[in-house]
Structure 1
């Protein structure tokens, strides 16, 4: 795989084809920019400035995009590409190539004029810069930039009547104040050119109002059930005159900051340099790994409420989820050698442990976190354990002892008795969880009163995690000379109970849940093999891997249910209700490739053939990272023919687990 991604016209022969390919870049505080290779919006989340008003949440669309027009002696060329209800603008027809190399670059040609447009963010700030370089031909031209503004929650649409702003122009600066938030100032700067009030443009029946970009249609949202349209505010345009044969560079910046002390080109250079520094720090001499390091960076963001780093679960809509954070943790921050960020993430979540529970998620609002999860707390032990394995210095152990250890004890005490959401330990030492409508494992969909994947009882991965947590606590309490709460004795009891009760002799693998007699073949059993402390003998581990490969493996991950099961859903498509019914009933999950490859290599003793096979399974993700969201790995795919990205276009644990197993198998 090349360091940069380059696409020619064969990738966007139609606007529909161009809209299937997207890009995104983050700003380190939960905000981001994203759009399509064609240059338009295909989902409600697309925009050049999605700002996190309360980092990393409360994300609002501020600048949708900039549209460009070229006028050469009266010959007008519209470079904008966008679908509408009954028509489309097809500016992608002037696009010669698209390049993504840490930031997106659009390369257009109009007659004998070459135009380069790039978008970058000011890291740590709700600021986006759009830079232009024009190599003009033999005639003078006028270049027009039309910014599309908005003020709405990302992932929603808005009526034109609700797009109301106060506006002021000061020299090269346009200031907009949304009527719905008088405390917010949207500043738009241009390094060159003149503002022109679009309300002065004569209207016609075909174009009744130039102050709005109306009735945008979102292709991808439409096929998942959204039948509406969207609107944007376009009060001014910027006009720049360029002489014949002139080469001209200029930029526009949109920001929520009070002042900007950098040029657009400086913002771009700083953004790219920072990414290169992260690649050097990670220390891989492999383009696949380097691109994963780039992808990982977008998920690691600042949380204002703790003043520390956290991990966003996925783009474009997820916030920080405890379970997702801990599963993605090793790949995103340890394999990339971002150990300071790792400490901050562990400490950030420690501040919110409540009744022994790590938060399930932090909502996208100024509200308290939700705690409806049994596994986030157990994955927290794994994150701590792996942190120490990667670092292992005395100061690292001291950090865990002083900041984290008491929280681990609190989790243990809560789980070994009983805590919220019917989570607790039975007499056999195993953990039970969930009741009624509560969904507390990662297979957590509920549609009204329909519990799609009821896993109440004793789920297999929860008890594998519980056993590993006990083993970890025994190691830590010896290291720190802490009170002996009989972790070792309990772990032996758990191991014995697990082996007696979870083995399914008929199917030669593990029950998914016991006490509820769920013998469906699901991927959750793989964590009983892949976690550091083995709870089963090698022969049973091999049989689990064989069953998983036969029933669940699906190129870009593992199915959530055997394709032979009568309840198997082969497609994740359509309105939300239909998608929810398929979410954990056959849909392929990218992150599950991690425990599968680890398990496969483990049962084959990491021999040469196993490593070759593992590398083959990973190599297909290089192709996927050229598709869907460029340089990302999607959350999910269909259960059959897992080719099209579904769900979040780039998911933290998908990227994290691919990078983790890459690191693992390349040790051999």
Structure 2
């Protein structure tokens, strides 16, 4: 993803592969169906993660995602010239796929994924289109060449939860049901059946294909081998005229409609997200990218926090909501998502992870609930404080949270200190967004009064007072206003560090006593606090905070989570799972933080200031470091060359860069 507005620049991803596996192996693609299901792999379609697959179905949309269709291996057989061209690329033990033939010429996602192979003196185009709102995928095969060929398709099924791996076993049900042009199979009794609509013939040959290796899982020190099962092969005869053939796969049932119509509907829905050539290319690309995370077609609309493994996480969803919805004018859709989040609240708290298969929600996070207040403020700025949605649906949830926090009986232990700040956690906790653990121990505990939590609390109380005043609820407005003023006064009194000319990251609940402490680490949480509630800072403190952050935290990939001058700094993100967790918030750079940095800078400095002038280039640079084409990743290493890493496609990364571009830079 690159470019801020050059005329004629395509906003859709394109990669010239030129039969070079190296060009196609380390970049990924991802597509979603608008209801939580997705498809994803490398551009070479050689899976490197357990989460890759051509149909990862959301069995309880948008949750309970299962890799059902892992691959459809393609081979082209020709009699003139005689030969077989195997287009599948896999990693097996002791086999180097780079030593074998590779026929992929180019990859396009315009707007659905499309691969073009040069084989048998002609060209085979493979297109993949998920069906909007359904657990179904359409695969289109178009052969253009001088001679007829037979296209052989072998589906490889995983039939397991996306976090697990499949092993060969004897309980696979091998019976298939054949109808005219359709095949149905239910290999796992605990899961729905898979339905195939095909052209040509089907030859049943059930068998296991063994020991697929996923290299990124291996590099993390996790289990990385899997066995996949196939029911047989489909054979399609193509005459070379360019007439397309189709394979349609659905969970439990086949989608209604002709394959070309299903593709056209998906294409039209995705193209409709493009605001058009009058808008700078970077804004167009981010706007199109934002569609991936909106599960508006699910029975319970939600935000998917990231692909391929993140789910409907409360904190991430609320951070992303303003950028994904409000900044793009999708107000009614935003209301439906917020309504679902409020409905999931327990004991006045927004769960950081909503209940999944085990039925239990995780409410341990201290900040997920506070981001609800920030989202409500953004709604109020768009709709007005008296809007019925705010007053009847969000304010009751906010009031329940406010009262629970003031009482100090919130299930996750968040509480107000004697002087009005917000405190969270106890020894062994990781109560904020910096919640990584290594060997079960929090890397960045931040127990006590974390700076961004107190700013979220102060601004949240201000927002609640504003909404309560608009509703004529004078008593609630007064109490929220008092809480806001107390929090801001305590913030001014206790968070500033004269030695660093930067705020403390965490302070103890009380300023005196044996347990009193301060953490003077230079982290981006002070920038979060400044962007959220500038009233917590004096003008001099705000300018000094921005200057220090620019000098030590800002990178072309986002803001570092710790300054390089700190002895605990670990800027490189890599190695096994423990090494990665240990560096997760100890110097890695996060794109989403750049959105808050942009807001902080614009709220403090004049438009002609060099730090304001450089913001567009910083946003463009952060958006240009992709793992999955057309998307923005979760994080990057904090050292040059700032290599992208973590989740390949992250909702709040896209949302915050888009929000900064539109609302801050205008």
Give me the TM-score of the superposition, normalised by structure 1.
Answer: 0.92
Alignment: residue pair count: 643
Equivalent residue number for residue 286 of structure 1 = 280
Give the 3-state SS of the residue equivalent to 1:525 in structure 2: helix
Q: Residues 342 and 284 of structure 1: is their aligned pair in 2 closer, same or farther, counting only changes over 3 Å? A: farther
Matched, 1:424 2:415: yes
Contact 1:633–1:654 under 8 Å retained in 2: yes
How far residue 609 of structure 1 moved from its aligned partner, in angstroms, is 4.2
Matched-pair contact (CA < 8 Å) for 2:458–2:533: no
SS state of the match for residue 500, structure 2?
coil
- Following the alignment from structure 2 to structure 1, what is the Cα–Cα distance between the partners of residues 170 and 249? 21
Deviation at 1:554, TM superposition (A): 2.1
**Aligned partner of 2:133 among 121, 124, 128:** 124
For the residues of structure 1 that align with 2:295 and 2:436, how far apart are their CA atoms?
27
1:91-129 Cα deviation digits (max 9, x unpaired) = 872111111112111011113211111101111110011
Find the counterpart in structure 2 of residue 645 from structure 1: 644
Match of 2:306 in 1: 314
Contact preservation (8 Å) 1:140, 1:241: yes
Query: Is 1:489 aligned to 2:489, yes or no?
Result: no
1:63 has 2:69 as partner = yes
Q: 1:43 aligns with which of 40, 43, 49?
A: 49
Q: Residues 323 and 168 from structure 1, CA distance in 2 versus in 1: closer, same or farther, beyond 3 angstroms?
A: same
RMSD: 2.1
Give a deviation string over 1:198-254, Cα, whole Å, max 9, x none. Answer: 36xxxxxxxxxxx233221112222222353112112211112233x5332111011
The match for 1:400 is 390
1:473 is matched with 464
Q: Could you say which residue in structure 2 is the equivalent of 1:213? A: 209
**Aligned match of 1:110:** 119
SS at match of 1:81: coil
Structure 1 residues 4 and 302: CA distance shift in structure 2, 3 A:
closer
Taking structure 1 as reference, are residues 621 and 235 closer, same or farther at Cα in structure 2, changes over 3 Å only?
same
Q: Secondary structure at the match of 1:443?
A: coil
Q: State which of 164, 179, 186 in structure 2 corresponds to 1:177.
A: 186
Tell me by how many angstroms 1:666 deviates: 3.4
Equivalent residue, structure 1, for 2:634 = 635
In the TM superposition, 1:263-342 aligns within 5 A as 263-280=258-275, 285-302=279-296, 307-342=299-334
Secondary structure, counterpart of 2:222 in structure 1: coil
283-292 or 553-562, which deviates more: 283-292
Instruction: Report what 1:208 is aligned to.
Output: none
Give the distance between the partners of 2:582 and 2:15, measured in 1 at CA: 36
- Relative distance call for 1:487 and 1:242 in structure 2 (3 A) is closer
SS in 2 for 1:35: strand
Deviation at 1:519, TM superposition (A): 1.1
Q: Is the 8 A contact 2:455 2:533 kept in 1?
A: no
- Is 1:605 the counterpart of 2:574? The answer is no
- The answer to whether the Cα contact below 8 Å between 1:446 and 1:452 also exists between their aligned partners in 2 is yes
Residue 36 of structure 1, CA deviation: 1.3
CA drift at 1:65? 1.8
Distance 2:266 2:163 in 1: 26
Structure 1 segment 73-88 matched on structure 2, within 5 A:
73=79, 74-88=82-96
- Give 1:350 shift: 1.1
Q: How does 1:138-177 map to 2 (within 5 A)?
A: 139-161=147-169, 164-165=172-173, 166-177=175-186
Deviations 1:622-645 (A, max 9, x none): 432xx3101111111112125333
Q: Decide whether the 8 Å contact of 1:125 with 1:257 is kept in 2.
A: no
Is 1:6 matched up with 2:1? no
Cα offset for 1:422? 2.4
Matched, 1:457 2:442: no
Q: Is 1:587 aligned with 2:579?
A: no
In 2, Cα distance between equivalents of 1:92 and 1:75: 13
1:391 equivalent in structure 2: 383
User: 2:353 — aligned with what?
Assistant: 361
Equivalent residue number for residue 29 of structure 1: 35
Question: Contact between 2:212 and 2:227, CA under 8 Å: does it hold in 1?
Answer: yes
CA distance in 2, matches of 1:606, 1:279: 29
Q: CA deviation at 1:435?
A: 0.2
- 1:17: how far off? 3.8
CA contact (8 A) 1:319 1:364 kept: no
How far apart are 1:577 and its partner, in Å?
1.5
Q: Deviations over 1:323-376 (max 9, x none)?
A: 111111111111111111110111111112222211111144241211011111
Aligned residue for 1:251?
A: 246
2:224 to 223, 228, 249: 228
Give unpaired runs (5+ residues) of structure 1.
200-210
Q: CA deviation at 1:405?
A: 1.1
Q: Report the counterpart of residue 399 of structure 2 in structure 1.
A: 409
- Measured after TM superposition, the shift of residue 414 of structure 1 is 1.4
Task: Tell me: CA distance 1:393–1:450, structure 2 relative to 1, closer, same or farther (3 Å).
Answer: closer
The farther-off stretch of 111-120 and 282-291 is 282-291
Residue pair 1:29, 1:303 contacting (<8 A) in 2 also: yes
Q: CA separation in 2, counterparts of 1:150 and 1:528?
A: 45
CA distance in 1, matches of 2:74, 2:107: 16
Question: How has the CA–CA distance of structure 1 residues 88 and 180 changed in structure 2, closer, same or farther, with 3 Å as cutoff?
Answer: farther
Deviation at 1:271, TM superposition (A): 0.7
Q: Is the 8 A contact 1:360 1:370 kept in 2?
A: yes
Task: Describe the SS at the equivalent of 1:234.
Answer: strand
Match of 2:514 in 1: none
Looking at structure 2, the residues matched to 162 and 522 of structure 1 have their Cα atoms a distance apart, in angstroms, of 53
- TM-score in terms of structure 2 length: 0.92
